[in-house]
Structure 1
Amino acid sequence: MPETKTRHAAGLSGSALKWIAIVTMLIDHTGAVVIEQGALEWAGWYWVDFALRVIGRFAFPIFAFLLVQGFLYTRSVPRYLARLTAFALISELPFDLATGDCWYDPGHQNVFFTLATGLVTLAALRWCERQKGSRRYWLWPAALAAGCAAATLLRADYTWQGVLLIGIFYLLREQKTLCWLLAVPVLAWSSLSVLGTAVLALIPLHFYNGEKGRPLPKYLFYAFYPAHLLALFLVRFYILGVPLLQKFPF
């Protein structure tokens, strides 16, 4: 009997998107942590940093999209939320050292807080969708607004724009064209400092084929996030010799 080969749909799988997000996040944080915080004197570093930050605008929209996919297929939302919350706490020290140049910065929380807030918002939106009658049509805007407000109060990375983007990806998951149209102004606004180039992240998302792809280690992204931030901080601190300001919130 001839051997049959498994055919894969054309496009990008979830695993491929995750790799794109991880690599572009590393590129982005190299600019933010090493070049910007390192205060390198050569004027040309500005353009190097700008290029790195443009490439980095792919990362968060892809992670926001993958969060929605994870929410749709997870077996347990509480366990999913517990993982995000645990790594939000684990990542806060490396995040503050890398981006805030201090041991603790209450004014800016890492992206896991944004994703955790987004996940809670998705659970609320799903509950709203299951309501009957006209209630659902005023409940879901209220739920989305509450999620955006929570991210802003937490001062999480990307604040309300991040949660709004997650909400758009979820609510319009069956209407790709409208989803992209509404995502464009949110992405452009969130990346004004780099000429709105976060909009380009919609290109790989457009080619998502709905397949999971080759499985990645379950906690690859979770562990990579604090690990790479700490590594970049150590490069800046020990190799470039930029001293830590040692700021405290008290």
Structure 2
Amino acid sequence: MKTNYKGITGTQLKLIGVFLMVLDHIHQMFYYAGAPMILTMLGRLVLPIFLFMLAEGFHYTRNKHKYLARLFIAHVIMMIMTQIITKAFPLDTVVLMNGIFGTMFLGALTMFAYDKFRERRYLLGTGILVLPLVPAAVGMLLSNSHPMLAANIMIDIPNYLAVEGGFISVFLALGLYIFREKRAIQYFLIALVALISTNFQFNSTLLTENVQWMMVFSIIPISFYNGQKGKGLKYFFYIFYPAHIYILYILSYLYTNYFM
């Protein structure tokens, strides 16, 4: 990919995503208090931005194994913290199910598998792609006899069937990686996923309920990316993402219990 010093760096693009993400989660945590729908509409741009930067980061990282390990550990820690927070601050109005680290881990894992296919290590690549199906299969097998255990396995271990954004987000990440040198195709893939998310129901709900299609507008900030990494902030997202969600959730708990 050609780079230049005009436009915005990867760090700046991530910060745009972080800002929009906060707006989205304000709506998630305070929708019942009248937080406007426009906040979550703006938040639809976030996932493609971070998947785009995931593809960039995974391409440039020196150690792909450590990259995968960081995402997996971040996911596990967040799942544990989510259980602790929801038990300490039970809230009926908000379901705390955020887990983008799981989606990013699976996206990076499929990118890793793709690299193995390019190296003609087909058996290893296939095994890596199939691996996330194991917890899904185990969860389904245990769903009748041990429903709680099955639910924990499905939620706590990243798999294609129970990941934030759905399996289509994982394969969007892979597509953005495969075509990272072809920006027009990347835009097409984002637009295609946005179209699929409408469920081909073109009615008023697209402006009131099913607003996921608005992710197509992420193409605008992504188009300004200049191919430059930008300054630092390597671990900022790993800390900020769960921290701001839990802070907003606790504030929502306090608002519900003491101000309503």
TM-score, normalised to structure 1, is 0.75
Asked whether 1:58 is paired with 2:75, we answer: no
Q: Tell me what 2:21 maps to.
A: 25
Asked whether 1:67 is paired with 2:67, we answer: no
Residues 173-192 of structure 1: pairs in structure 2 closer than 5 A: 173-190=180-197
Cα deviation 1:112-134 (Å, max 9, x = unaligned):
111111111100011112229xx
Cα pair distance change 1:28/1:92, threshold 3 Å: same
Matched-pair contact (CA < 8 Å) for 1:188–1:197: no
CA deviation after TM superposition for structure 1 residue 94, in Å = 5.0
Matched-pair contact (CA < 8 Å) for 1:25–1:59: yes
CA distance in 1, matches of 2:125, 2:220: 28
Q: Tell me what 2:179 maps to.
A: 172
Q: Which residue type is aligned with residue 50 of structure 1?
A: M
CA distance in 2, matches of 1:169, 1:162: 10
Q: Tell me what 1:158 maps to.
A: 165
Residues 66-145 of structure 1: pairs in structure 2 closer than 5 A: 66-93=53-80, 95=82, 101=91, 110-131=99-120
Cα pair distance change 1:199/1:143, threshold 3 Å: farther
Q: Tell me what 1:245 maps to.
A: none
CA distance in 2, matches of 1:91, 1:80: 17
Q: Tell me what 2:152 maps to.
A: none
Q: Tell me what 1:201 maps to.
A: 218
Cα pair distance change 1:74/1:195, threshold 3 Å: closer
**Over the residues paired in the alignment, what is the CA RMSD in angstroms?**
3.1
- What is the aligned residue count? 217
CA deviation after TM superposition for structure 1 residue 179, in Å = 2.2
Matched-pair contact (CA < 8 Å) for 1:34–1:236: yes
Cα deviation 1:118-161 (Å, max 9, x = unaligned):
111100011112229xx79xx989977986987433x1101212
Cα pair distance change 1:122/1:26, threshold 3 Å: same
CA distance in 2, matches of 1:146, 1:195: 28
Q: Which residue type is aligned with residue 256 of structure 2?
A: L
Where structure 2 has 5 or more consecutive residues not aligned to the other structure, the ranges are: 137-157, 199-205
CA deviation after TM superposition for structure 1 residue 182, in Å = 2.3
Asked whether 1:15 is paired with 2:11, we answer: yes
Where structure 1 has 5 or more consecutive residues not aligned to the other structure, the ranges are: 1-7, 243-250
Secondary structure in structure 2 of the residue aligned to 1:152: coil
Q: Which residue type is aligned with residue 170 of structure 2?
A: V
Cα pair distance change 1:144/1:196, threshold 3 Å: farther
